[in-house]
Amino acid sequence: MISVGIVGGTGYTGVELLRLLVSHPDVDLKMVTSRSEAGKSVAEMFPNLRGFTDVCFSEPDAKTLGACDVVFFATPNGTAMKLVPELLEQGTRVIDLAADFRLKDSAEWEKWYGMPHACENILAEAVYGLPEINREAVRSARVVANPGCYPTAVGLGFLPLIENGLVDDQHLIADAKSGVSGAGRGASVATLLCEASESFKPYAVDGHRHLPEIRQTLGVAAGHAVGLTFVPHLVPMIRGIEASLYAAVLNKTGVDLQALYENRYRDEPFVDVLPKGTMPETRSVRGANLCRISVFQPQAGDTVVVSSVIDNLVKGAAGQAIQNMNIMFNLEETAGLNRPALLP
């Protein structure tokens, strides 16, 4: 059994991580930390976990956490990087669900997150945890930077086109929509029911924090910097992301895009390329660690349209983190995750 600790288990990502871990066949959940809720039963805060765990929230303590095989950080940006060095000294491996280790350029990180990076040496060794491109590096990683939700949907959607040089990668467009849970559990007027319901709006059009992360992933695949316009939207649903991706075809004819995507993801347990002409739906991945993708070339024109859907809390966060844990500890990659989506 793998002994697991969670730092910051009171948000939506934290409870999703708990929901999946408490039924994982190879996990012994040792501790869940929260300064504000220390002493309270996890099941008291999250009644869906009643009968599945008797763990209580505790104060974060590096020495106690260091007794775990792996520690997940489901914390605000800037928290993990302060504790990770001490955990690594104790031999504990780390999966950070926030952004502390996602960007390789520390100056770029400071620009987007408004603070200097606390451990640039660890930033350099951290592995970006998108298994579909970094599976082998994840196996031996001490620190895994779990990807953001938008970068997961957009990256998986664009990758086959970029890897094969089939489109103009200087003018990519990602038009993405997310459910309200993506904004977190903290109280905010913008996410109140009366504010978000029956409304649909873009936000952070001038620059979202996930933009450099997406560019980094696609740039590695392309072998050079890419150009990307990324516009996120808030839609009145709890879970889910749909990313509509647009790219102009280069002077290459006769490429079977459907076969291209099917071949690229044939052996990926959590990427499902839908049959030709099928429209993806966010409800088809709700609660599941799946990215479902469809690819189109409308009217056989010079634009490729890809639709990519995920559950932002699962393949976009907690599920992907557990997928990475499975890889790191040589477990079946699907362990604890091979379950269908929730309908209705």
> Does residue 187 carry a pLDDT above 80?
no
CATH, domain range 150-311: 3.30.360.10
> Does residue 252 carry a pLDDT above 80?
no
Distance CA 83, CA 33 (A): 13
Residue 172, strand partner residues: 228
Tokens of 245: 């991706």
**Predicted local distance difference test score (pLDDT) of residue 152:** 98
Per annotation, catalytic residue among 68, 119, 149, 291: 149
Task: Check if 2-125 and 150-311 are the same fold.
Answer: no
Q: What is the pTM of this model?
A: 0.96
**Predicted local distance difference test score (pLDDT) of residue 111:** 95
- Calculate what percentage of the chain has a pLDDT beyond 90: 90
**Range with top average pLDDT, 33-37, 204-208, 323-327:** 323-327
Burial class of residue 129 in the structure, from the number of CB atoms within 10 Å of its CB (0-12 exposed, 13-18 middle, 19+ buried): buried
Structural contact between residues 219 and 46, judged by C-beta atoms closer than 8 angstroms: no
Whole-number mean pLDDT of the chain? Answer: 95
Tokens of 294: 């469809």
> Does residue 36 carry a pLDDT above 90?
no
Structural contact between residues 193 and 238, judged by C-beta atoms closer than 8 angstroms: no
**Predicted local distance difference test score (pLDDT) of residue 253:** 73
**Predicted local distance difference test score (pLDDT) of residue 138:** 98
Spell 39-66 as b/e; 16+ CB within 10 A means b.
eeebbebbeebeebbebbbbebebeebb
Q: In this predicted model, which residue has the larger pLDDT, 189 or 307?
A: 307
Catalytic annotation on 68?
Answer: no
Is beta strand 143-145 parallel, antiparallel or unpaired with respect to 127-128? parallel
Ranges of each domain in the chain: 2-125, 150-311
For residue 63, give the H/E element and its range: helix 62-65
> Does residue 250 carry a pLDDT above 80?
yes
**Predicted local distance difference test score (pLDDT) of residue 179:** 94
> At which residue do the structure tokens 């739906």 appear?
281
**Predicted local distance difference test score (pLDDT) of residue 251:** 72
**Predicted local distance difference test score (pLDDT) of residue 262:** 98
> Does residue 191 carry a pLDDT above 90?
no
**Predicted local distance difference test score (pLDDT) of residue 190:** 83
Distance CA 256, CA 226 (A): 24
Q: What is 101-153 written as a DSSP string? A: TT-S-HHHHHHHHSS--S-HHHHHHPEE--HHHHHHHHHT-SEEEPPPHHHHH
Structural contact between residues 28 and 1, judged by C-beta atoms closer than 8 angstroms: yes
> Does residue 335 carry a pLDDT above 90?
yes
The pLDDT confidence band at residue 271, using thresholds 50, 70 and 90, is very high
Alpha helices for 184-271 (secondary structure H): 193-196, 210-222, 257-264
The pLDDT confidence band at residue 254, using thresholds 50, 70 and 90, is confident
CB atoms within 10 A of CB 289: 26
* Half-sphere exposure (Cβ direction) of 2: Cα atoms closer than 13 Å: 27
Q: Which CATH class name applies to 2-125? A: alpha beta
Q: pLDDT tens for residues 73-128?
A: 999 999 999 999 999 999 999 999 999 999 999 999 999 999 999 999 999 999 99
